[in-house]
């Protein structure tokens, strides 16, 4: 009996061994697509913006460059980028890439702080690197921006052109991002655009901007028209491609890190604030408005509100404080307690509803455009929701938690290198499915996570 059992076990093991997948069985294939000339079109995510700035490090680890690396095994050739010089970086606010530094505060021992940016990269024509590039991602670009030469025209004056595009436009003021993309004669493209059409409004706390951002949230008809113009042109020479939709702001740490009631007070400080807002509460009572009430423990922040009869109030559950307010909340400025948090750093219920509706409508338009133009559809919104809940990849857990989640960079909006690889694989999965291809996925662990000191 023992011998029979022994042979049964050996036979079972052999059967299981025969069923094990072989890592050597994967054969890369281009399927029905031609990946020989790949062009990446989009905004800051495509460009490789990370840690609050554009740098060669981020560009080299952009999802677009990661995809280009994976395409080499299925016929992909060279992929050129308008690289920022090594050791330099520039953010839209003039800062350089964020770095984690020690604060000396036991409650928050590490905090991201921007380094000094290299402004000359965007202001001195002799430092611009105009030419034809495979990656034509432009930080801050909206859908319709990609169609107009005005985007790169410095003669329009500061705030009316995008210097991130001007620095690599083939002919500043004459060429458009789409024209420069087509100059490559692409056989394959990725297009990820539309996020800034709503995100610019959200990042400004629902405040209407000026210059390039004067249109508030892009009208749906304008976005749809831009998408169709972009896809029609990109496919006009026979290229195939992939189009991604946009994530909900709730899946992005910049909008979810600071909780509405994160002002923690001891009893003495709560008492002082109740005294400080006593006059406010007298007026509020007379006008039958909610009073400001502070107690030991967690409290709702005080925010500015131009629509409120008293121009300030305590924030309500479900409303948001943006990550950009954190320094002045924690510092001597006393935002949220001694002074109301400015409206440009908060989103109220009405603003959030406007953002939610626009995101829903934009994603429906993006899905429809992918079907009309028969390109691969990349459901990035769903992937970001998965990330928000938590993803286990190659033994590592990734979430949308700020700093510790391992996917988003220190600006709370863009991805770190591993996050970019997750995005690249999401594109690759959709491409393989649409074109019956076998493009190998990137190994997430080959890339850096959040850079700790």
d(C-alpha 279, C-alpha 10), whole Å: 84
User: Tens of pLDDT along 210-253?
Assistant: 666 566 899 999 999 999 999 999 999 999 999 999 999 999 99
List, in sequence order, every residue forming a beta bridge with 264; answer none if it has no partner.
298
Alpha-carbon dihedral of residues 267, 273, 277, 282, nearest 10 degrees? 10
Could you report the per-residue pLDDT of 295-308, keeping only the tens digit for each?
999 999 999 999 99
Long-range Cβ contacts of 109-113 (<8 Å, 24+ apart):
110/403, 110/452, 110/453, 111/326, 112/51, 112/52, 112/403, 112/410, 112/411
- Tokens encoding 443: 């190994």
For the chain, give me the number of helices (H) and strands (E)? 16, 17
Q: Which residues of the chain have pLDDT under 50?
A: 1-24
As assigned by CATH, the class of the 38-250+349-446 domain is alpha beta
**Domain residue limits, the chain:** 38-250+349-446, 263-347
Measure the CA–CA gap between 15 and 85, rounded to whole angstroms.
56
Q: Please report the pLDDT score of residue 212 as a whole number.
A: 65
Residue 26: what pLDDT? 84
CA distances from 289 to 12, 189, 311, 319 (A): 74, 55, 12, 18
Residue 210 is predicted with a pLDDT of 66
Query: Which residues, at least 6 apart from 22, have a Cβ–Cβ distance to it below 8 Å?
Result: none
Compute the distance between CA of residue 231 and CA of residue 218 in angstroms, rounded to an integer.
18
Mean per-residue pLDDT over the chain, rounded: 92
d(CA 47, CA 190): 12
The two structure tokens encoding residue 383: 């992937």
Question: So what's the pLDDT on residue 209?
Answer: 67
Q: Enumerate the H helices of 242-312 as residue ranges.
A: 253-256, 267-276, 278-286
From CA 299, how far away is CA 36, in angstroms rounded?
57
Spatial contact of 38 and 72, defined as CB atoms under 8 Å apart: no
What is the per-residue pLDDT for 20? Answer: 41
Q: Where is 244: in which H helix or E strand?
A: strand 240-244
């Amino acid at each position: 009996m023992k011998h029979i059992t022994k042979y049964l076990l050996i036979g079972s093991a052999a059967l299981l061994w025969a069923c094990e997948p072989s890592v050597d069985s994967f054969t890369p294939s281009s399927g029905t697509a031609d990946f020989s000339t790949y062009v990446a079109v989009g905004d800051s995510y495509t460009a490789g913006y990370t840690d609050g700035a554009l740098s060669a490090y981020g560009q080299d680890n952009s999802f677009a460059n990661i995809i280009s690396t994976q395409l080499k095994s299925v016929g992909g050739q060279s992929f050129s980028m308008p690289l920022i010089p090594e050791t330099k970086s520039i953010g839209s606010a003039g800062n350089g890439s964020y770095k984690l530094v020690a604060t000396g505060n036991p409650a928050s021992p590490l905090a991201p702080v921007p380094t000094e940016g290299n402004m000359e990269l965007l202001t001195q024509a002799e430092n611009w690197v105009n030419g034809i590039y495979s990656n034509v991602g432009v930080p801050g670009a909206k859908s319709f921006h990609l169609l107009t030469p005005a985007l790169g025209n410095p003669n329009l004056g500061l705030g009316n052109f995008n210097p991130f595009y001007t620095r690599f436009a083939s002919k500043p003021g004459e060429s458009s991002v789409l024209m420069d993309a087509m100059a490559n004669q692409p056989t394959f493209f990725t297009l990820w655009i539309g996020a800034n059409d709503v995100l610019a409004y959200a990042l400004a706390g629902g405040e209407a901007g000026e210059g390039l951002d004067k249109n508030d949230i892009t009208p749906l008809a304008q976005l749809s028209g831009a998408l169709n113009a972009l896809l029609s042109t990109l496919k006009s020479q026979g290229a195939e491609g992939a189009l991604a939709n946009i994530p909900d702001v709730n899946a992005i740490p910049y909008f979810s890190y600071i909780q509405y009631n994160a002002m923690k007070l001891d009893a003495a400080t709560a008492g002082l604030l109740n005294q400080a807002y006593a006059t406010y509460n007298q007026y509020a009572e007379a006008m039958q408005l909610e009073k400001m009430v502070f107690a030991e423990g967690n409290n709702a922040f005080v925010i500015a509100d131009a629509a409120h009869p008293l121009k300030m109030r305590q924030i309500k559950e479900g409303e948001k404080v943006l990550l950009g307010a954190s320094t002045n909340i924690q510092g001597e400025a006393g935002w949220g307690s001694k002074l109301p948090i400015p409206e440009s750093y908060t989103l109220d219920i009405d603003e959030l509803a406007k953002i939610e509706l626009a995101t829903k409508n934009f994603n429906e338009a993006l899905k429809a455009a992918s079907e009309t133009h028969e390109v691969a559809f990349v459901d990035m919104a769903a992937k970001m929701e998965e990330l928000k809940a938590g993803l286990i990849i190659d033994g590592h857990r990734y979430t949308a938690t700020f700093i510790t989640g391992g996917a988003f960079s220190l600006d709370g909006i863009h991805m770190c290198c591993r996050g970019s690889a997750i995005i690249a694989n999401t594109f690759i999965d959709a491409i393989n499915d649409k074109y019956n291809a076998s493009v190998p996925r990137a190994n997430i662990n080959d890339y850096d996570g959040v850079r700790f000191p």
